[in-house]
Amino acid sequence: MSNSSEFRTCPDTGLHIDRPAEKLMKANAVAAVVFLLVGGVMGLGVGLTRWPEVHLLGAQNFYTTLTGHGINVLIFWIIFFEIAVLYFCSSTVLRCRLAMPKVAWGGFALMIVGALMNNFAVWKLNSAVMMTSYAPMPAHWSFYLGLILFAVGALVGCFIFLGTLVIAQKEKTYEGSIPLVAFGALTACIIAVFTIVSGALVLLPTFLWQLGLISTIDPGVYRLIWWAFGHSSQQINVCAHVSIWYLVGTIMFGARPLSEKVSRFAFLLYIAVLQVASAHHLLVDPGVSAEWKMFNTSYAMYLAVMASMVHGLTVPGAMEAAQRARGYNNGLFEWLRKAPWGNPTFSSTMISLFGFGFLGGITGVMMGTEQLNLIIHNTIYVPGHFHATVVLGTTMAFMGITYWLVPILFRRELILMPLCKLQPYIFGLGMTGVSLFMMGAGTMGIPRRHWDATFADTSMPYEFAASAMSLMSLNGLSVVLAGLGGAMFCLLIVGSLLFGKKLGENEKCSYPLIVDAVTDEQYDALHKTTKNTIPGTMVLYTVFLLAFALYYFINWKYLAETWGLS
Amino acid sequence: MTSITPTGKRIWWNEPIEKGELIWIGIIVIWGIVLTVMMPAWHLYGEQNLSTETYRTTPAMYQEKTQKMVDQYTIRTEGTRQFPVVAPPVGSDVYLIARLWDWWPILELKEGQTYRLHLNSMDWNHGFSLQPVNLNIQVLPGYEHVINVTPNKTGEYSIICNEYCGIGHHNMVGKIHVIK
Ligand code: HEM
Ligand SMILES: [Cu+2]
Ligand SMILES: [Cu+2]
């Protein structure tokens, strides 16, 4: 290593941290949390408006706030955090200096400028077009330009990551293949590059169209390319949060993957099926053939689904095997009962795993089935589904790892530990309510992105079933809980950065940040006593599969009751 | 070797997979096949398959065809805004306009009969969402989508818009009557 003076060794974890990379990780993570706070407040405003008895915002304000909510949380919070994750998984995990830190700062600046410009367009330049900005509904040109600048900045981050992998290989900072976590991040990065190119394909023409340089945009083609971008960006999130699941297995339990081959192959599947998986957003669009829809969902999506199902088995499986090898080997679930439920990193990760699998995954397959989409498309079921994937799944995984990163990167201890312990449960419970109640209401037809489902000012009003409305009220209550949990997170993290107990460079944190890896001997001893090292996981997984199958066929039954279509 | 340590001399793609894990992967693959097969199977045996018949059109062309149908088959008007109620012959081409912020005109269809329902938008994206049966179809400008619908029960149905289409989005409600 040429400039080893740039490194410091973390006294708690033994990680080698490149200082320039560290500064960038901090900046990106802080920006992420700020956008989460801003976007989360908007989410609260949206949620309180959709609570029929409260109906907080006026119509115009509601649509503007909803646009801002979607973009700030789904794009800005998540991607800033992902850039930090990419730097961690390359530079820190591989003990390598970060490639071109100056350029990385340039990318960061572009992202900040883009994010601010886009928010300005939404709030001040009359661009309440929702994050999807479906043409031909126009936004101000700076709406698109802001997103383009942000995307270019993120692309720079991807290349810094790839550059760092190249340096690590050249300078031989590791031996053999890169670790699983870095491998997962690499798949995320490859998908990100594809995603950003699709984004450019769709945003550049709309930008030029708003400048008057292009006369028309085909609305169907727009949707096709937008979703090539919108869908694959969700695949980046999945790769990123699954990598974090594996990371947490290691830092909490010293676990090793059940099989590197299986896990890595599952990551590769995400890339293999990427290009075509966007059609499950177009299942009820005109001009898309049935064959294409079926090919696209089954070939592309179920392979991705299967990949996630494999991770959903191997992540808890690896934790179970490690716990058993450490001696928590009684009964089916001692390993789980004796897990560190009071550690916010662990509890967030488990809520992420279960929420993503049971709620997000099952419902995603449901909606992504060609015919079943007819009874779901654009109802509030859709936000119900993705608050399970992108909030319970991705956001909670990121929150969990943030608790872990604060002392490591910022050399500050967490403040108000009892509240930190509580926060994942409050946010998780609230968000579970948000997704379940929105899904319930959506099954009864309540539309998404809709200011007033009571139709008070309409000349031909429609009255939804009272039960649908009560589900929206329950959703409102859950929104308050989720808002509370989200606010707690942001305040606890920012508070820890400002007021947490300072740790010197070589001072250990007062609580452990990583456990020793389970040794080969421990694993061998476990294998001698039992053939099946993951019986508990298998029971949970069976419950999951049965729930999946039951729910899937119930929805076919619902479909059969609606009007005939041919 | 954990998830954050390099593989060292071991080569990951040569590692054996445990038998237990393989069985689960087998189950997952079988489930993936079931999910895939259900879709073509429903095309063969199910009764809700969205037609993909689509034509390019323009607002002017589509308006003209719709107007012609309205002129020919209007039976009465309804509501404070005097929307025409159109009862087209069984099996015929029925035109529905989506525009900021109406579904026009009101239709009267017969239970158990099949119609060729045309959907098209005059301006932006809209969402055809038929309640209370909860049938949802995306409506785009420039694309004339022809679907064959068979109402299965008499009653009054509402079409709400569930694709955001600007400030009047939540007021965009239309109607379909289904009679004996
Ligand atoms: C305090 C936490 C949150 C609350 C209370 C909340 C609530 C809501 C509600 C009620 C909707 C509107 C549904 C509609 O009318 O269509 C919505 C939309 C949405 N939310 Fe959240 N949410 C929260 C956090 C998040 C997070 C963390 C993310 C992403 C990581 C997220 C992503 C989205 C997206 C993408 C939309 C759709 C916007 C659109 O339709 O264009 N939300 N949220
Ligand atoms: Cu509309
Ligand atoms: Cu609308």
Asked whether the beta carbons of residue A369 and residue B54 sit closer than 8 angstroms, the reply is no
pLDDT score of B9:
65
The Cα-based distances of A56 to A199, A465, A478, A480 in angstroms read: 34, 22, 15, 13
Asked whether the beta carbons of residue B161 and residue A460 sit closer than 8 angstroms, the reply is no
Integer Cα distance of B127 and B137 in angstroms: 6
The DSSP secondary-structure symbol of A548 reads H
Asked whether the beta carbons of residue A447 and residue B161 sit closer than 8 angstroms, the reply is yes
Torsion of the alpha carbons at A503, A505, A510 and A513, rounded to the nearest 10: 120
pLDDT score of A466:
93
pLDDT score of A503:
87
**Is 70 exceeded by the pLDDT of residue A5?**
no
- Check if the beta carbon of residue A255 is closer than 8 Å to that of residue A322: yes
**Among A383-397, A518-532, A536-550, which stretch is predicted with the lowest mean pLDDT?**
A518-532
- pLDDT, tens digit, 9 for 90 and up, residues A230-283: 888 888 899 889 999 999 999 999 888 888 888 888 888 888 776 666 778 988
- Check if the beta carbon of residue A311 is closer than 8 Å to that of residue A245: yes
Over chain B (180 residues), what is each successive 10-residue block's mean pLDDT?
Answer: 72 75 87 90 91 92 96 92 94 95 94 96 95 94 94 95 94 95
**Is 60 exceeded by the pLDDT of residue A4?**
no
**Is 90 exceeded by the pLDDT of residue A164?**
yes
Between CA B125 and CA B128, with CA B127 as vertex, the angle to 5 degrees is 135
The DSSP secondary-structure symbol of A360 reads I
Label residues A408-421 b or e (16+ Cβ within 10 Å = b).
bbbbbbbbbeebbb
- pLDDT, tens digit, 9 for 90 and up, residues B75-120: 999 988 899 999 999 999 999 999 999 999 999 999 999 999 999 9
For A143, counting Cβ atoms within 10 Å of its Cβ (0-12 exposed, 13-18 middle, 19+ buried), the class is buried
The DSSP secondary-structure symbol of A384 reads H
pLDDT score of A415:
93
Instruction: Give A532's contacts in chain B (Cβ within 8 Å).
Output: 20
- Mean pLDDT of all residues in A284-299: 83
Determine the CATH number of domain B53-179. 2.60.40.420
Asked whether the beta carbons of residue B6 and residue A175 sit closer than 8 angstroms, the reply is yes
Confidence bin at A1 (pLDDT 50/70/90): very low
Asked whether the beta carbons of residue A247 and residue B4 sit closer than 8 angstroms, the reply is yes
pLDDT score of B1:
61
Q: Does B142 touch chain A (CB under 8 A)?
A: yes
* Choice from A38, A44, A54, A69 to test ligand 1 binding pocket (greatest atom count within 8 A of CB): A69
- pLDDT, tens digit, 9 for 90 and up, residues A94-135: 889 999 999 999 999 999 999 999 999 999 988 999 999 998
Instruction: Tell me which residues have their CB closer than 6 angstroms to ligand 1.
Output: A 40, 43-44, 46-47, 50, 66, 69-70, 73-74, 77-78, 130-131, 380, 383, 387, 390-391, 395, 434, 448-449, 479, 482-483, 486
Integer Cα distance of A436 and A195 in angstroms: 29
For A37, counting Cβ atoms within 10 Å of its Cβ (0-12 exposed, 13-18 middle, 19+ buried), the class is buried
Report field, pTM of the whole predicted structure over 0.90: yes
Only one residue has tokens 């237990």, namely B20
| Residues of chain A above pLDDT 90, percent | 57
Q: Does B127 touch chain A (CB under 8 A)?
A: yes
- pLDDT, tens digit, 9 for 90 and up, residues A430-467: 999 999 999 999 999 999 999 999 998 888 899 999 99
- Asked, as a colleague might, if the bond just before A136 is cis with ω within 30 of 0, I would say yes
- Mean pLDDT of all residues in A48-60: 94
Integer Cα distance of A509 and A403 in angstroms: 13
- Check if the beta carbon of residue B116 is closer than 8 Å to that of residue A566: no
- Chain A window 462-481: which residues touch B at a Cβ cutoff of 8 Å? 462, 464-465
**DSSP conformation letters of A159-195:** HHHHHHHHHHHHTT-S-SSPPHHHHHHHHHHHHHHHH
Cβ atoms within 10 Å, residue A429: 15
Q: Strands of B83-86's sheet, edge to edge?
A: B74-78, B83-86, B106-110, B173-179, B155-161, B126-131, B135-139
| Helix ranges restricted to H, A58-124 | 59-69, 78-87, 101-124
Question: If DSSP states are collapsed to H, E and C, what string results for A10-57?
Answer: CCCCCCEEEHHHHHHHHHHHHHHHHHHHHHHHHHHHHHHHCCCCCCCC
Instruction: Locate A25 and state its tokens.
Output: 């990780």
The Cα-based distances of A192 to A69, A82, A110, A288 in angstroms read: 22, 10, 17, 26
Q: Does B149 touch chain A (CB under 8 A)?
A: yes
- Chain B window 79-98: which residues touch A at a Cβ cutoff of 8 Å? 79-81, 83
Integer Cα distance of A20 and A117 in angstroms: 27
